[in-house]
A and B are shown apart, each in its own frame.
Chain A
Amino acid sequence: MSGVEHDFGAFVAARATSLLRVAYLACGDETEAEDLLQTALERTYRKWDRVSHDNPEPYVRRVIVNAAISRARRRAVLSIVPMHSPPERPARAGDPDLVHVLMDALRALPPRQRAVVVLRYWEDLSETQTAEALGCSVGTVKSQASKAMAKLRSALGRDTVEGVIKNAHA
């Protein structure tokens, strides 16, 4: 194994699962997420000399979310995969399947809004870092996050979510 392969392998071993989760949340499908991750890592490996000097993770993450956006955009057009629709009614209080309700709502977001949610609230990136990852302005991140959370709030029902949490904590 060459030095490059060794270094790259160490990075994959350390970060692949975390990156797979980002990919899954960005695209909403497990198989698709694995493919996204492999694609992103192939691209990273090709440019390893360039990206390995600094922390390569932001680069891989950026490739993942932007590829997810591109794929979703193309697939929405081509209807290659079934599109998930948001629930017609807000989740009821005590809904035991709240995770699935959230995932459906997340999948129903436009791809860029979904990516903003993932980067901001899963990866805990700042608005500036999120903007950098998506190649857009901080203002765009703010507006997309606001729209996305409004949709999630509507789909989930904020009062309902808070009620569930209160019940869980009671």
Chain B
Amino acid sequence: MPMLEDEVRRLMADETARLRAAPDLLERVIRADRDRRRRAKAAAVAASVIASVAVVAAPVVYLTAGSTAPVGGQATTSAVPEPPAIDDTPPVRTEPETLGDLGDGREFGHVKVGYLPDRLRWGNWSVNHGDSYTTSWNYKGDSEGSYRVQIFVYENAAVQELDDRLRIYREEGEGEDVTVGDRSGYLVVTNVGEDGMAGTPTLFLKMGDAQWAEIMFSPVYAKEFSGPEAVTAELRKIAEGLTSTM
């Protein structure tokens, strides 16, 4: 047995020996699950209330000759508030390798961004890992390092990593294969538990055999839209406008 592997194993044992699972872990897990079910139920109730109010409100709008009642506005106030997303957390800056000054951020690496939703501006940062790189867009006034839309590009060897991730999503029954124009893709809400379980709406787009893009909406940004369908529609529009310069 090689000595380095043995030593790594021993050092890891030394480092983790002091760790013990919290006594209330089980309780927290079960409580979180109940909370999640409660939120889902509340959201479903809120949605049904909105739908019923819309049906009732329709004749009112007609009878008052053009007045536009805020049909959805009152009903949505009954929704259970979501826990804050981690995207709101002020970041601690580090200095990874970047793609440099991208101007308006509409062209970076080997891709061009043809469409972005209104008001988004380049977030003035990027990360460049060589065969994968990324940048993002946010609103003027957003905290530095936060994102609303982010695009991650995988090229050449990095595509394998993405293939692996997509295989896991498929095995887990999460997300669905989609087509965007004549290109294939995969639509999923990624959820790694750090965003109040809201998840990150994500569209993976195959731009070529050696190039994929991952388009993400932050959970915070996704809440600005009327629902998952509206978010998906915007993700698709961004994907449609994304072109390769490889």
Which residues of A come within 8 Å of B, CB atoms? 5, 8-9, 12-13, 16-17, 19-21, 24-25, 30, 33-39, 41-43, 45-46, 66-67, 70-71, 74, 76-83, 98-99, 102-103, 106, 112, 117-118, 121-122, 134-136, 140, 149, 152-153, 156, 158, 161-162, 164-165
Contact = CB atoms under 8 A, between A and B. Distances in A.
A16 B21 CA distance: 6
Interface string B160-196: 1100110110010000000000000000001011100
A67 B25 contact: no
Interface residues on B, range: 35 or more
Nearest to A62: B168
Contacts, number: 142
Contact of A20 (B12, B21, B147): B21
Contacts of B86: 80
B3 A165 contact: yes
B7 A12 contact: no
B12 A37 contact: no
A158 B16 CA distance: 22
Could you tell me the dominant secondary structure of chain B's interface residues? helix
- A37, A39, A156, most chain B CB atoms within 10 A: A39
Given A37-B21, A162-B3, 5 more contacts: A45-B29, A45-B33, A81-B92, A99-B15, A140-B164
21 contacts: A17-B19, A24-B16, A25-B15, A38-B193, A43-B193, A66-B168, A70-B190, A71-B192, A77-B134, A78-B91, A79-B145, A80-B91, A80-B145, A82-B94, A102-B11, A121-B12, A122-B13, A149-B4, A153-B4, A162-B7, A165-B7
Contact of B26 (A12, A66, A99, A112): A12
B9 A121 contact: yes
A100 B167 CA distance: 35
B233 interface: no
B192 A20 contact: no
Contacts of A140: 160, 164
Contacts of B91: 78-80
A-B interface, 4 closest residue pairs, ranked by CB to CB distance from nearest? A39-B193, A16-B21, A21-B16, A135-B168
Contact of B19 (A30, A67, A102): A30
- B29, B125, B127, B190, most chain A CB atoms within 10 A: B29
Contact of A79 (B4, B16, B92, B192): B92
B150 interface: yes
A38 B29 CA distance: 6
B25 A41 contact: yes
Contacts of A118: 12
